[in-house]
Structures are given as structure tokens and as C-alpha cells.
Chains A and B, each alone.
Chain A
Amino acid sequence: MMLNWFQHIGAFTFDILANTGRASIFLLQVILGIKETLFRPQLLIRELYSVGVLSLLIIIFSAIFVGMVLSLLGYVTLVDFGAESSLGVLVSLSLIRELGPVLTALLFSGRAGSALTAEIGLMKATEQLASMEMMAVDPIRRIITPRFLAGCISLPLLTVIFMSLGIYAGYLVGSIWLGVDEGSFWSQMQSKVEFGHDVINGFIKSIVFGFVVTWIAVYQGYNAIPTSEGVSRATTNSVVYSALAVLALDFILTAVMFV
């Protein structure tokens, strides 16, 4: 019984190590194709559209509502202490340091990451990737690298849009609706939010999340079991692993950057 238990732990650990190794080799192959992708910008532009531009709507809507809710709740709390003039600081720091990068990454993994996994997985299941190999076209360089690069570029840009719109929505609720002084809303934000520290670190977070979420999405798709169940499982795994990775990495990055 005890031996069996140890055997399971051993097999599980071995499985994790083997998977990490495979994913790392895969990442290396993807990165080696970047130079080729940069010489074929039309491939990258197409993927930037489907990964980035098509994710805009959900990012815009979420940013507006998150900014409005933050402002509303912040006002309710701050007004008790007569500190409602600090509302701008609260909204902006929350969005720039934490909510912007994390929520955009989670939404991105649900919208674009899952689509990438499903698309690549289906291409594998329908032998499109194998047929490319036989046409002497490397599917990693032709299919995966442009998508990976597009994800890495799109997420930080989407995060900037999320932060900006969230702050503006917060301003609309705080100043226009709830009557917080417009001047103090913006001036306090300006004096307390440091570009070099807060904005850059928030941006760095989004770069890390973009890299990890897209890596997970393309790896899950490329390694999907080529059946309908396999593709469905890979898509679920892509979203779940991305969410866990983003939340865990966010804790580590926050501890390193802001503590």
C-alpha cells in the first residue's frame, strides 16, 4: 500500500518533469523560428488581428466595468474618512499594479488562448500539421511561432488599454457621477503613481503573463491528443493552467516588485 503510494508520487513527479522538459524544448523550437516570422510580417499581422484585435471587445467591456466598480466601492469606503480625493490613486494603483495585468491575462487566456489551443489542436487532429511537414514546411515555424509572437505582443498592449479605460471609467463614476473633485482625482493620481515603478512594473507583469499564457496555449494545442475529446481536454487545460500560472506568477512578481 505504502509502496504503491510512493510509486504514484514518483510517476507523478516524473510526468511533471518530462512535461516541463518537452514544453521547454518546444519553446526553444518556437523561439528559433522568430527570425523567420519577422521576415514574413504578413503572417504576424494576421495573427495579431485574430489574437489581439478580436480580443479588444471583451477587454474594453471588462475594463470599463471593473474601473466603474472599483471607483464606486472605493468612494463608499473613502468617503467615511473624508479621503474621497484619493479615489484616483486607489483606482489607478489597483488597476496598474494588479488588476490590469491579471484580469487582462485571465480574459486573454479565455478568449485568445483557448482559441489558439483549439485551432492548433484541430489542425493536428485533421492531419493539417502532418501534411505541412510532408510538404517540407515546418509547422512550428509556419503556424506556432507567428501565433506565439502575436500573443506575446498583444497581451501587453491589451493590458495598457485595460488600465487606461479602467482609470477613465473610474474617473467618470467618481468625478462625474459621485462628485469627487476632478482636479484632486487626477493630481493625486499624478503625484502618487510613479511611472518608473508602478507603470513599468505593471507592464513587465503583462509581458511575463503574455509569454506564459501564449506558451501554454500553443503547447497544449500542439500536444493535444488528436481526437475530439483530446482537443476539448487540451482547451480546458490551456485555460486552467494559464489561470493558475498567472495567479501564481502574479504573487511572485508582486512580492519582488512592490514589497
Chain B
Amino acid sequence: MSTVNIKIDGKEFAVKEGEYILNAARANNVFIPAICYLTRCSPTLACRLCLVEADGKQVYACNAKVKEGMEITVDTPNILEERRAIMEVYDVNHPLQCGVCDKSGECELQNYTLELGVDSQSYMIPDTKRETKNWSSVLHYDAGLCIVCERCTTVCKDMIGDAALTTVKRGGEALDKGFKETMPKDAYAMWNKLQKSVIAPSNGTEFTDCSDCGECAAVCPVGALVSRDFQYTSNAWDLKRVPAVSAHSSDGFQIYYEVKPTSIEDRSEKIYRVTNEWNYVSLDGAARFAYDFENRDVVKDEQAFEKAVEAFKKAQTIRFNSVITNEEALMLQTLKEKMGIKLYNPEVRAFQKFLGYYQKASGNRFYTTDTDAVMKKSDFVIAMGTALRNDSPGLKYAFNNVQKMNKGAGLYFHPVGDTLIPSFGKNVECFTHKPGLEEAALYLVLDLFADKEKLPDDVKEYIASFKSSEKKTIKEKVMKDVTEMVKDEETGEEKEVTKKVPEMVEKEITIERNGLVDLLGGNSEKFEEVFAKMMKKKESFSMMIGEDFYYHDKAENLAKLIALVEETSEIDVVMAPPKSNALGVALICDLDDEAEGYTVGYNENGDFRLSALGDGDLDMPAMNQQEGTLTNMSKRVVPTNAALEYGGYELNDIVSALIDGERETIDWTVKLPTAKGYKAIAFDDLENGYSNDGTENRGYLLKTSTRKVKMPKVEKFDEASALEGEIVYRCNPGRQFSDFTDKAHEIFEPFGLYASIAKAEELGEKVEIIFENGSIIVDVIVDDKIEGDITKLSDFKSAKDVYTLFGESRYKTVTMRKV
């Protein structure tokens, strides 16, 4: 990456080319005040505080890019005057209720008022009555406190992709004209805009139609947007911040659990909220609101422990899922090695196999990119095999962010139609294809992106076999010149006037048809033109792969096709592990395909159940009560800390009772298998944080390796394998991932069958879904962002055993019966 040299206040810095001045300054620990700017989003220019002088001209640091040799002065007398006036304006009519405000103590308005020394007020205007509102089940908006910095609307649009918020008219009084002359220019302009607007849901109703991620509340600099549950329960300074990793999606977001004693009577600690470094990481609703899934009030039950040890001694299988740390996974693997117990984890097994196929075909140990890299450089993303809105929030944010920030384009292949994805950008094309045709999607990608020179001949021929051209007569509008004589009425002169008159002309044209596009539900007549537009000025390509592929009949062929795509085109691939630590489990454990005999279930069904949900034969600590590491989607080993106390036995105690164990769970960290890319670093030596320039310093990246392999031999696909009829898709609603999210009191999404509006009407309130190997009766829930007839059945309640109903597939043809 090329750098340029700039001078800020006389000091020289070498900064990234094309960077905004503000970001460059922040990366080098130079402070420039700014309220409205968010690092990974587009500048809004609402606050105008970041005014600096660059090469003698006043510019906004958040939207002016650095240039070679630029000399920047942060404070000039004029700028200081502007900033002070801006802060005074922000304080006009701001309620003096810091005493009860939740933001007090971490409020940017308080901080900047102090920083810029505002101790008197020179401006005034009548206040406008602004009502407080509850926007959703989690969001509370106090318009009176809002300073309309638009960080919420910006992050929702540029990062989250929901664009659920917008600025609307405030109906405030117009500014006194006299201010225009007397006030600093920028402060006046900023006030003028501020006085006119306020934030509201963008759908025109009282309620937001969004994924309830709460990122808007996280970025709010003042107390205007607060989670309803947190409101007035604690002051910011009372909370202890525990750095941890989100336990639910495989993104492994860094979060802070904020804890303090439950109440005056109960001094045991409780998590009050989850916060994040919102300049560097954006959370999903599960990471932010599903935090109280701990196993509370557990004491050491010696009898149960004895029984557990006995159960392990006679166990033939341990069944577990991906909500487990790397250390625990290693313990289970050690048990397998020393005691011959089988490890059964169908959820991860599918992913592990897929990763294996991919490794074999591509020679790469891991997929080649990650969400962060996608956001930083990609300008063309392709997503397939993942319900982007539900499966992996990190991928959704990256897909959206590329459209907004990198002037990107995107292709989305998925059998379930979605109304949200196309709204991410003008250049997003969605293919709603039949399930079973995922290979066709990859062939299309090969056709569109692969270097034809590199492709094997048989593949080239195969792709060409879908191409056809046909002659078609179309009617075309042609503008024809018609000349006529017109008499000018005033002068009486005659003039010749030429007019253009449309005329329909029949014309025969040749249409190049691409059978793959049509097969995938697109229209090849139009696609070529659309695609050409999408490809303009694109340089960096990436592809997101999701869970559908791991649970696919032709998973091996898909993996080979992906390897071929990588080999022959410039596309980098990122794969979303199914849930929390699926990648870690896949790397550390040798999983078996079948469970047999006496089974110990760890957070899963079994003859003896270890459970962090509090409903098993022996209690286990939940993710927020454990320290250890997780392996996230970005192939990073990230440390998490225990937020809450846990009084019972841990897996390490059982392992120590069975074999020679370690004293603490985290003593296993250093023993993670180096052959799989892990490093022998002790837990306490792992860092956990971000640098000012956004560099992630959490844990370490897995060591990747590449070896030369032969070009993978891919198979043709079978059009007939496409599923027909009534199809159900195994997919959770946005904020649900497992029993743990379900246990959290701020997650309201119910278990059920999510259907488009039309489909839900057809199905009625409740249906019985009959699978080949059983049936389930569920409520039908409307999801207005689904399009088409395929319905989504939740799988987060393990008691409902939805995984067994679906077997090794995410799509099933079923019979539905109204109940």
C-alpha cells in the first residue's frame, strides 16, 4: 500500500494514500474533534467540528483526503471560534438532565462542551416539543436529547444495511436572520440544518422495520437512543467492562459485557448491557442483546459430578455443538484420543467435511479472505448458499458496506427471495433460483469471472453448451426527422421546422442467451447489459459461501468448483462457519459421522446431559462465564473472558478426573494443535483490542499455508436435482442462533415457520410440516422481507430436533397441513 507524507501541526506522518485527514490523524494519535463521523461509514458533515486548515484552506477533515506534502493545522483562531460556536449551538435547548441521562459520563456532548470550554451561551431559539418514542422492542428514542448528528442513520444505511432510520422535519422555528451575520459561518449552517431535522423510522410509521441490532443506540453520542431494557438502570461509570467474544454467530465479534451487582439485596454480578468498539466492529442483535444466558446460582454438586465422571467412563459418544471454546474442544479431542470416545457434532461435521473437500481441491488450508478484508478492499461481492439476512450478520454487513463505501456491486444467489438485499445498492443483482442448483450458480460465476485461458477445456465446453443465440424480431422506437413548414403568426413568415417524431420499426436482432442465467431465475436478455454496468471499474472480487453448501448433496463438487473459481479468477473466498466456534471445532476435533451407544450430551441431547442451560444432569458454565479462546470466521483465535461468576464444575474438572488434565481451562490454550495453524501462545499473553487506526489486535491469526495442487476436476450438475413442490428451508430468524439466544430476555423472535406475507396467508396460523422422518407442528410467522413460496423453519430450539428432520440438507420437500 502506498503512503503519502503529510504534516499535522508541524509533525510529519506517513499515512495511507486516499485516506481521509481525520482517519489519518486518528491513526497517528492526533486529536481532531468530530462527532458525526464513523470510521467505516460515509461522512455526513452534520457536525462540522472536524474543520481543519489544510494547505491554507479550511476543509472538513472527515471528507477531505490527504495529499502528498499536505500541511494541516488542527486549530486556528478562526476554527476555534467556529468549533466553540458549534458546541454552543449544540447546547441550545439541550435538556439539563444529565443527572438522569443514561449517557452521562460517556456523553460526547458533555465531553466536547468541556473540551471546547463552553461556559456561556450566546444563541437562543424557542424550543420545539419533541416526544420520546419506543421505536421497537429494543429501541427508545428521546428526540429532546437528540443532536441530529445522523450517526444512527449513517450506520444503519452504510453498515447494517437496513436503512431503517432517516431524518424528518422537526417543525422548529426558523433561525433569526440576525444570526447569519453575527455567527461564524459553519456554525450557522450547522444550526440551520439541526433546527430543521429530527430522526424517525424511514418507513413512515412509528416503528422501525429492522433487524433490531441496536447499532444505532451504540453509536449515539448522546442519550437520545438507548436500549429500552437498559434505560435508567445504571450509570455508565458503575459498570465494569469485560472484553469478550460474541457467543452466537460465527463472526466472533469483540464485545464488552458490562457488569455490576444485580441489586442492593443481591450482590452477585449481572450483565446490564453489551457494548462494542463501534468504529471498528458492528454487532448483530444476538451479540448485543442475547447476553443473559448464563447458568446462574450453580454450586458444586459432588454427586452429580461423580455421576458425570461415571457417565464419561462408559460413554461411547460425546455429542456437542459449536457453542464451545477451543480449549473445551481440545479437551474432548484429548478424551477421544485417550479413551476412544466418539465425537458427534453433525452441525460442524458438515462444515468440516466441506472444508476438507475445499482444502483438497484448492491446496489452501483456509479460505482466502475474511469480512474485514472484504470491507476494506472489495468492490464486487458474490454471496451464495447463505441466507445473508439471517445466517451471518458479519457477511451481511460486509456485503452492504461494499455497496455503500466501495462503490461496489453484488450478486446474490439464493433460493429464498429477499426484499432487503436488492436495497443495499443499485448494482445488486439477486438470483432466486431453485434449491439444488447451487452448482449452476458457481458455473455462472466461472463463466462471468474466470480467465477463460485457465479454465480446463471440458469446463469451457460445458459452460459454452448453455450459450445459445436466437433471432428475434422486436419493435424498436426510432426517432425520425419530419420537416414541415410552419407559419409564424406574428410576422407571417413561413419557416422550415424539423421535428423528431417517434416511429415504431420492426427489427430483427440476435440475442445471446445464457442458459445458466435463465436457469437460475434471471433473464439473460437483460443480464448481459446489467452485468457490464456492474463490472465497470471493478478491481477486487470476493465471494461469500454459506451453510447451504455444507449441507448439500453435492458438497464435494461445490467445494471443487469454489477451488476452481479461486484458481481461475481473481475472486477471494470467505466461508461462514455455521455457528459460534464451528471453525475451531472443525479444526481441533476429529468428528465422527455417527453417534453410537451411550451418549454424553454437552448442551445437546444425550443419555447423560452436561448443560450450560441449567436443565442437564450436571451444570456447565455458559459462554459468558468462561474464559478461553474461540476461532472466528476471520480465522482469528480470539480470547474471551468470564463476565460472571460460576460456582460449579467445568469440563476441565471432569477431564482432570478422567485423565491427566490441566489445572485451569486456559492452560489448554497453549496446547492447541499447531499442525492446524494454531500457535503455542498462552492465554494470558493474548491481546484483546483495536488500535486507533482500526488494526485488530485480538489474539492471533491462524497460520495459513498453500500447496500446489492439480486443477480440480469438477463434475457437471444435474438440472433435475432441483427441488420442486413445497419446500422448507432450515433457517433461524435474525437474532436467534441457539437455545442460548432463546434464553436471553431481550430476544423476542419466536420459534416457528417464517413465510412471506402471501404464503403466510395461504398457510394460516398453524401448520403441521410432514417430513420423511417425522413431523412438527409450528406457528406460521410473517416475515415481510421474504419473497416467494419457500418458508424458513427455525432450528434454534434443540428440543425440537429440527436438525434430525432435515438430515443432511437445509432444504426439504415437505407436505404442509393446516392445523
Do these two chains interact? no
> Footprint of B on A, CB under 8 Å?
none
Q: Which residues of B contact A (CB under 8 A)?
A: none
